Amino acid sequence: MDEMDSLLDSLLEQRKGTSVSYIDDRYANVLRLEKVPSKGEGVTTLKALPVTEPICSLKYPTMMAMDPEFLPTTCYHCLVITSNPLPLPGYGYTSMDLKTCNGCHIARFCGRDCQVKSWHAYHKYECKVFKKVQNNLPSSMMRAVLRMVLLKDRGLVSDEEWDRVIGLDSHEQILAGRGRSNLTDMAETIKHLATSGMSVTMIQRLIFIMKSNANELPTPIYGGIGVMLDPLIGKLNHSCEPNISIHRPQHTMASGWMDSTNLSEHERKTFIQIIPLREIKEGEELLNCYIVPTVAVEARRAKLMEDYFFHCECGKCQCDVKAAAQLIESHPDLSAQFGQWAQKTIRSVPQQVKKQGGNSLSKAMAAMDHSERFLEHPTLYTTGDYPQIAMRLTLLGLQSQAFDIALINMLWVYFLVNPQRFVGGHTPTEIYTIFLLLDILDGILRISMPPGVETVDAEKWSKNLTTRGLTLDDLLHWRDRICSDLERRLAGSAAKDLLSLVEKRKEKRRVSPAQGKDKAQEQSMTNAEAGMRSALRLKEPLWKLALHETGC
């Protein structure tokens, strides 16, 4: 064991001396790896990059695994999503039956093509392991490491790839210093499951590397579904106002994405892309966001310290701290009241509705009523927990089939939170919330009825919204405006592949039997705007600002 450890140490020492190439030759004239003060190494650009083009494309990662809840509804290989976890029709997934692997009964495939490719590339090794642990499947992080161990043992990982992974920053000293932790147990379990000759120390190092460098396995619009590690992404440093994002193009999800005849050779090999969120200047560092960007500044900093061992000093953190301090000074009571409201709402409104007809909905409605006195203070949305709470109320509204509640909360997020919290108009979080908003609108307008929803529910929602100030005609008008806003954002970005999803939505509206005549075109814009302002209980200056900032 000791011999193994010293061999590993000497190997790592040797690696420090050799230079590992993290930048693919194709991007060597665009990107460079260099030392960045107080951050270790980072990736910088060698030339100015326009916002409309992907910066680089990355191939299918070796270390990747889906979270357990997505396994039953997602193709194990091309990751096409076949069902929406929310009670919404959705547009980001394909409705199809998946074929279950006869060996492990865990992996499911959209077709033979994906099953065969996956089998030969990696699944035949994992399948045997999964069979043994069917009822106690290891976490996604462990499965990602397990795949690497299985492939490396069989000589199926190139030296170049292995060097790039094993050379990543692992914070080994800090993590190992936390004592014999559950990470060692994890490494031992992986060694046992894989019946691997690799040392526990080496497997543990792979776990440390995963913990320090992995990112979410992204879907084109519906957020993360697991973990993945790409050595280039692992070299990107963090900012809470990032200038890039990791994008999964829509075409990579369709069955057989590697073979589609319409794609170029380069696109076929693309699994994900790094895309800019704004124009990037020559020499600028590419910065990724490691955490949920809408969380309040103290919580962001605490999470980054806990998981990545640094204190974030990005421009956004500094601004948020200053703004929060100014608010406390100018409105001490208001800050305290907001804090109390936020805590009470988080305590009383569950993340998941366990049973229909409970009193969570009335608690959500009470929380919404109480939130209205804070609506005139934008600092509260930009520095506090407001987005998290509004999203929780939205999801609760959807799960309780109260789409009117979901809609108002989502509109607050769309008009008040997102424009101020994000760089660029096409970050995945923002795009996700706009698609979600359109899904909710389509349910209320009966353009796409969510499964299990009765006409009488839809009538009740529209009545409640009309009482609040928004008629169905107003909603149709806003649906068109929000669609156009989404279209504009995507057309001006490198995520243009998502435009086809907006186009599908527009088509739905054209054929909707519920509408008949195209009334939204006829109705006065002024009425629709007045309706929205009144429904959101916003005063004129803030409403004007919200309209301006959304570009709506």
Ligand X SMILES: C[S@@+](CC[C@H](N)C(=O)[O-])C[C@H]1O[C@@H](n2cnc3c(N)ncnc32)[C@H](O)[C@@H]1O
Under the rule (CB under 6 A), what is the footprint of ligand X? 38-42, 169, 171, 212-213, 234-235, 237-238, 308-310, 312
Least distance from C-beta 41 to ligand X, angstroms?
Answer: 3
Neighbouring C-alpha atoms within 13 Å toward the C-beta of 77: 25
C-alpha 381: how far from chain center: 20
Output 34 or 376, the one with its CB closest to ligand X. 34
Which residue number has the CB closest to ligand X? 40
Least distance from C-beta 309 to ligand X, angstroms?
Answer: 5
Output 204 or 401, the one with its CB closest to ligand X. 204
Output 312 or 417, the one with its CB closest to ligand X. 312
Query: How far is it, in rounded angstroms, from Cα 92 to Cα 90?
Result: 6
Output 162 or 310, the one with its CB closest to ligand X. 310
Output 107 or 232, the one with its CB closest to ligand X. 232
Output 169 or 487, the one with its CB closest to ligand X. 169
Q: Where are the alpha helices (DSSP H) in 123-227?
A: 124-132, 140-153, 159-166, 172-177, 182-194, 200-213
Least distance from C-beta 35 to ligand X, angstroms?
Answer: 8
Please count the other Cβ atoms lying within 10 Å of the Cβ belonging to residue 336.
11
Output 79 or 236, the one with its CB closest to ligand X. 236
Say if strands 287-288 and 244-247 run parallel, antiparallel, or are unpaired.
Answer: unpaired
Strand partners, 276: 244
Least distance from C-beta 178 to ligand X, angstroms?
Answer: 15
- Judge whether 216 and 223 are in contact, CB under 8 Å: yes
Which among 224, 285, 275 has a CA at the least distance from the CA of 245? 275
CA dihedral of residues 41, 43, 47, 52 (deg, nearest 10)? -160
Output 167 or 397, the one with its CB closest to ligand X. 167
Which among 182, 183, 129, 184 has a CA at the least distance from the CA of 151? 129
Which among 145, 142, 66, 146 has a CA at the least distance from the CA of 107? 66
DSSP collapsed to 3 states, 330-383: HCHHHHHHHHHHHHHHHHHCCCCCCCCCCCHHHHHHHHHHHHHHHCCCHHHHHH
Least distance from C-beta 116 to ligand X, angstroms?
Answer: 34
Neighbouring C-alpha atoms within 13 Å toward the C-beta of 393: 30
Least distance from C-beta 366 to ligand X, angstroms?
Answer: 40
Neighbouring C-alpha atoms within 13 Å toward the C-beta of 405: 25
Output 234 or 419, the one with its CB closest to ligand X. 234
Least distance from C-beta 307 to ligand X, angstroms?
Answer: 8
Output 212 or 383, the one with its CB closest to ligand X. 212
Q: List the beta strands (DSSP E) in 277-336.
A: 287-288
Least distance from C-beta 470 to ligand X, angstroms?
Answer: 42
Give me the sign of the Cα torsion angle 231, 232, 235, 241. negative
Least distance from C-beta 44 to ligand X, angstroms?
Answer: 12
Least distance from C-beta 216 to ligand X, angstroms?
Answer: 13
- The residues near 180 (Cβ < 8 Å, ≥ 6 apart) are none
Least distance from C-beta 498 to ligand X, angstroms?
Answer: 27
Output 208 or 461, the one with its CB closest to ligand X. 208
Query: Sheet holding 244-247: strands in order across?
Result: 56-58, 272-276, 244-247
- The residues near 325 (Cβ < 8 Å, ≥ 6 apart) are none
